[in-house]
Homo-oligomer: A and B are copies of this chain.
Amino acid sequence: MAKHRFVPDHYHSTLAAHAPVMHLRDGDTVTTRTLDAHGYDHENVLRGPDTNPMTGPFFIDGAEPGDTLAVDIHHIRMTRVMGWTRQGLAWHIVDPSTVRDMPAREKIFWRIDNNAGVIRLEKPAAALSEWSLPIAPMIGCFGVAPDDGEAISTATSGRYGGNMDYRRFGEGATAYFPVSVPGALFCLGDAHGAQGDGEIAGTGIETSAEVEFTVRLIKGKRIGWPRGENATSIFTVGNARPLEQALQHATTEMLAWLAQDFGLDAISASHILGMHVRYDVANVFNPAFSVSCRLEKSALAAFPRKA
């Protein structure tokens, strides 16, 4: 249950079986830094590749294919005053007939005020001059090495995690990933200061960050897609196009979870989901879209959960 501080000196733009930067044991905690989505650090110096550069991979001792890696996200601290987005919504988010009326998608800068806990536009239009939004940090891209010897761009996502850009992967959340290679090879990066559903502007508030997390190894527990939970919800994340397929994956994984840990058969689970399920459109921007199938823990209060 050691505590580590890791300062990266190189970054990856694929999730793959890269050489590990550090060995961790079940229960270890790490504090480390991440670059922004274009490779810039806390001093706005270019330090890595320009597509969601990853810090890691971390080799979790004892992790084998068929296990599950749990990652508890303790803190995500913005390490830069400047964040950026693009203006205008992504063009596939609006009716095709209106795309030609949409604004050009220029890069826009924001000022992150950690003391006040808010983010403001650098150069707001008059209408937005008084507008600010609360900092609500999240990890945009993290996961483990994929199966089958693949090396997948951190632009996209899959069963192994990746660029899910889901706002509920924030402080206090735990993420679960299916281990496909020895050591799991966990990576993380692409922190956002805030983001709505769907990442429909194509970005969150993109910035550099310091992240503190604990890894836990769940031996012999097999999951199919990333799972997560926080104080109030459990959720599963399906990553695919179109949204229907992402939703199918997430729902199928939730049925598996309800069977595995709550002992609920398909009929009982369907009654609970039919009345209580919540779907979050995590991102509808990346090459794979991400849909979260979510249940409030209160909806499961009657059903004891396996350790």
Contact = CB atoms under 8 A, between A and B. Distances in A.
B271 A201 contact: yes
A198 B101 CA distance: 26
| Top 6 A-B pairs, shortest CB-CB distance | A201-B274, A151-B151, A243-B243, A196-B277, A279-B281, A92-B96
A242 interface: yes
Interface stretch (A19-27, A120-128, A228-236): A120-128
A265 interface: yes
A115 interface: no
B148 A278 contact: no
Interface of A: 13-14, 16, 51, 85, 87-103, 108, 121, 125, 127-128, 130-131, 133, 148-153, 155, 194-201, 203-205, 240-245, 247-249, 251-252, 255, 263-268, 270-281, 284, 299, 302-303
Nearest to A136: B275
Contact of A150 (B151, B200, B255): B151
A93 B200 contact: no
* Most chain B CB neighbours (cut-off 10 Å) among A271, A275, A280: A275
Contacts of A87: 267, 270-271
27 contacts: A14-B148, A87-B270, A89-B255, A89-B266, A93-B248, A95-B252, A96-B96, A98-B252, A101-B266, A103-B267, A103-B270, A125-B268, A127-B265, A128-B272, A133-B299, A150-B150, A196-B273, A196-B274, A197-B278, A197-B279, A198-B277, A200-B273, A201-B271, A201-B275, A241-B242, A244-B284, A279-B284
A267 B200 CA distance: 13
Nearest to A155: B148
Contacts of A205: 275
Q: Which of A127, A198, A240, A274 has the most CB of B within 10 A?
A: A274
A200 B121 CA distance: 40
A92 B99 CA distance: 10
A89 B196 contact: no
A92 B244 contact: yes
Contacts of A108: 271
A109 to B, nearest CB: 12
Contacts of A251: 89, 93-94, 200
A156 to B, nearest CB: 10
B280 A279 contact: yes
Given A99-B99, A198-B247, A243-B243, 7 more contacts: A92-B96, A125-B268, A128-B272, A128-B302, A130-B302, A131-B272, A204-B275
Nearest to A12: B149
A153 B85 CA distance: 32
A249 to B, nearest CB: 6
Contacts of A131: 271-272, 302-303
Contacts of A303: 127, 131
Given A153-B148, A270-B88, A127 B95 contact: no
